[in-house]
């Protein structure tokens, strides 16, 4: 999986400005406090094994669980997609552990299997039965892990731009720095304290490329939540430790006989289709691959009709529609 590059200039500039630890800490704390006030939870907070899990629940019908990607939170889905899906499904969007308003799993949080197990228990509290699980990007790995748990009770999967297969090479300079212990202790606080609006807007544009983000997305999604120090650290550790888990998980993919819809943009450079979607489709007994010509990494915003159609197909194949 390749991360969109948070410009190396951001890291260098933030680190230079962050030379004074006390100033950095005060500024980072003020920014985190402001972000949490501006972007409160949109749903309910569940307590699962002593940890808080944020769940946005909306609509009625068959259960549909949405799992966001790296650096994300439920607002990525509630921006527009949930309102549309809630007409046909009971939609449950979770903040993954350590992101949004969900507590961290600590060292165990680097495992998509552990994340899936915790979210499954949260879903049980909500009375979720035979859900369709949609996972975007990193969330695609968590969706696959959910189906591989001992008691999955999953009707179908939708893997959207999913990071589900082993990839060659590294993740680029941003994760090389922030995923290290030294970077987590020094660079991440500086990014939280000093990253500019222009720099964070550039990150959003890189994630959407070659498409652009929809109007109002950056203001709604709560970039300040993703820029908190603990969130940046959790996200970096999860992403930099994902590959060994998908290596092990991919060996078990041929055992999954449930309907799986795979939807991926051909122009996705964050999670390339030829590395993830195509080989995944060849491993699955009941996988259906749809490639969206020219689409990037965020088709649920840029090509929502294709995503809704994939969900409807998964529901029909599972006998839910």
Q: Binning pLDDT at 50, 70 and 90, where does residue 22 land? A: confident
pLDDT computed for residue 4 by the predictor = 46
Name the CATH topology of 8-317: Rossmann fold (3.40.50)
Q: Which residue has the tokens 């966001």?
A: 68
Q: Binning pLDDT at 50, 70 and 90, where does residue 18 land? A: very low
Q: 68: closest CA among 26, 27, 101?
A: 101
Q: Report the chain's mean pLDDT, rounded to a whole number.
A: 93
Cα-Cα-Cα-Cα torsion 246, 248, 250, 251, nearest 10 degrees, comes to 180
Q: 287: closest CA among 168, 165, 167?
A: 165
Report the range out of 131-140, 162-171, 179-188, 199-208 with the highest average pLDDT.
131-140
- Per the CB < 8 A criterion, the answer to whether 70 and 138 are in contact is yes
pLDDT computed for residue 12 by the predictor = 52
Q: Binning pLDDT at 50, 70 and 90, where does residue 21 land? A: confident
Each residue's pLDDT tens digit, 96-138 = 999 999 999 999 999 999 999 999 999 999 999 999 999 999 9
Q: Which residues contact 147 (CB under 8 A, 6 or more apart)?
A: 133, 154, 157, 256, 258, 260
CA atoms within 13 A on the CB side of 307: 27
Each residue's pLDDT tens digit, 227-261 = 999 999 999 999 999 999 999 999 999 999 999 99
Q: 286: closest CA among 303, 266, 261, 313?
A: 261
What residues does each domain of the chain span? 8-317
């Amino acid at each position: 999986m390749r991360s969109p590059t948070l410009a190396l200039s951001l890291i260098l500039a933030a680190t230079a400005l962050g030379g004074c630890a006390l100033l950095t800490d005060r500024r980072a704390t003020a920014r985190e406090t402001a972000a949490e006030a501006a972007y409160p939870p949109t749903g309910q907070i569940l307590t699962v094994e002593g940890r808080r899990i944020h769940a946005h629940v909306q609509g009625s019908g068959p259960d549909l669980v949405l799992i966001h990607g790296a650096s994300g939170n439920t607002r990525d889905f509630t921006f527009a997609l949930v309102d549309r899906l809630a007409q046909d499904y009971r939609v449950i969007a979770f903040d993954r552990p350590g992101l949004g308003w969900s507590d961290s799993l600590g060292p165990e949080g680097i495992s998509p299997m552990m994340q899936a197990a915790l979210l499954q228990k949260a879903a049980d509290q909500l009375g979720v039965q035979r859900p369709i699980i949609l996972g975007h990007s990193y969330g695609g790995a968590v969706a696959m892990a959910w189906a591989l748990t001992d008691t999955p009770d999953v009707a179908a999967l939708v893997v959207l731009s999913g990071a589900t297969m082993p990839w060659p090479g590294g993740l680029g300079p941003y994760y090389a720095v922030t995923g290290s212990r030294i970077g987590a202790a020094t660079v991440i606080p500086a990014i939280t304290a000093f990253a500019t609006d222009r720099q964070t807007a550039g990150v959003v544009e890189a994630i959407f490329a070659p498409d652009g983000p929809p109007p109002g997305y950056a203001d709604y999604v709560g970039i300040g939540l993703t820029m908190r120090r603990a969130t940046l650290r959790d996200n970096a550790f999860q992403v930099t430790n994902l590959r060994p888990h998908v290596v092990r998980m991919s060996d078990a993919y041929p055992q999954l006989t449930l309907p799986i819809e795979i939807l991926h943009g051909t122009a996705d450079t964050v999670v390339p289709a030829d590395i993830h979607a195509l080989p995944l489709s060849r491993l699955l007994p009941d996988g259906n691959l749809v490639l969206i010509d020219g689409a990037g990494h965020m088709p649920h915003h840029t090509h929502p009709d294709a995503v809704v159609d994939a969900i409807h197909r998964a529901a029909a194949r599972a006998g839910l529609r």
